[in-house]
Amino acid sequence: MVHRAVLGLIAFVMLSGCNTQQSAFHPGGPHADRVETLSWVMFIGGGLIFLLVIVLTAIAMFVAPERRQWMTNRRFIIWLGIVFPVVTLTALLVYGFTVARHLVTPGSPALRIEVVGEMWWWRVHYLDAQGTPRLVSANEIRIPTGRPIEFVLKTEDVIHSFWVPSLAGKLDMIPGRTNVYRFAADRPGIYRGQCAEYCGDQHALMAFYVVAMESNDFEAWYAAQIQPAAEPVVTQLIQGKELFLQNGCGACHVVRGTPANGALGPDLTHVGSRLSIAAGTYPTNVGTLAGWISSSQHLKPGNLMPSFGNLQGEELRAIAAYLESLK
């Protein structure tokens, strides 16, 4: 229990310094900006109507009958009880449809990314023109700024919901169905996303990050990411790679350039370059990686990765250091 609390505190301290507000009221793109405006219009409109209802209710309850005769007037009832609600709600509905129409991004996307929701993490495929995965990642999506991105949303198990409040609204991921969503980021930054549909015990720990980068930085990052994992040269990292393979980690995980070619868990080829592990739960560093390897079922009960409590401290540090070096 103490181990989990310490890791949680480390995660809070290290990630709280990032620009990772998960809020629709901190828009970082045109879609989120329109959603924020729509939210304020609906909120203010609803608040004014609620205030009017409260005032009329107070008058009906506390004002003497002879002084509120006007409330029983037929014209008052028709105008305030029928015409006003119909006109007001119709206006808000038309405005909402107008905003929703502008949320559809026309034209060809600059990049297509397939995101597959799984219990409880995100598999990320960067697709080529034919729709074939060219680059595979997990729990983190990097995109260029100022260009529309097409997200192809799927799920491998139950219903999930893809939501990055600072960039766009939410869209469900439904078994047997593919949903497509397009949006963009106006400026560089780190935007936190979250599964917005209850999907099981660890639903609250199913987060991810969208990292928006300048186009040149994104192209450089992409070119580096499609390369296989670098061969370790430091003794500890060499030992960590050997232990990683000896303990069967490659049965579930891929590290391109090594015999590890499992397809069940996240691709770890460049896991050290990601902001977090365990779907946004802990920051990526040697300590959290070692803690996750030894106590994954304690830190995130019910996930598919077993805890490797058989490993000694030095072995854990070696494996964690090797994974952290995979930039």
Measured CA to CA, the distance from residue 183 to residue 149 in angstroms comes to: 6
Report the percentage of the chain scoring pLDDT > 70: 93
Collapsing DSSP to helix, strand or coil, 17 comes out as coil
pLDDT at 68: 82
Collapsing DSSP to helix, strand or coil, 221 comes out as helix
Measured CA to CA, the distance from residue 69 to residue 67 in angstroms comes to: 6
Residue 36, Cα to own-chain centre: how many angstroms? Answer: 18
Report the percentage of the chain scoring pLDDT > 90: 78
Ranges of beta strands (E only) in the chain are 111-118, 121-127, 133-138, 140-144, 149-155, 160-163, 171-173, 179-183, 189-195, 207-213, 276-277, 282-283
pLDDT at 190: 96
Measured CA to CA, the distance from residue 207 to residue 139 in angstroms comes to: 7
Instruction: List, for residues 101-110, the tens digit of each pLDDT value.
Output: 878 776 789 8
Alpha-carbon dihedral of residues 230, 235, 238, 239, nearest 10 degrees? -150
- Taking alpha carbons only, the member of 271, 319, 9, 241 closest to residue 124 is 271
What is the maximum span of the chain, computed from C-alpha positions, in angstroms?
93
pLDDT at 149: 95
Per the prediction, the chain carries an average pLDDT of 90
- The whole model's pTM is what? 0.84
pLDDT-wise least confident of 51-60, 207-216, 315-324: 51-60
Instruction: List, for residues 226-241, the tens digit of each pLDDT value.
Output: 999 999 999 999 999 9
The amino acid that residue 7 corresponds to is L
pLDDT at 4: 43
Tell me the mean pLDDT in the region 149-173.
95
Does the pLDDT of residue 6 top 90, yes or no? no
Collapsing DSSP to helix, strand or coil, 92 comes out as helix
Instruction: List, for residues 74-91, the tens digit of each pLDDT value.
Output: 888 899 889 999 999 999
**Residue 23 binned pLDDT confidence (cut-offs 50, 70, 90):** confident
Instruction: List, for residues 292-319, the tens digit of each pLDDT value.
Output: 999 999 999 999 999 998 999 999 999 9
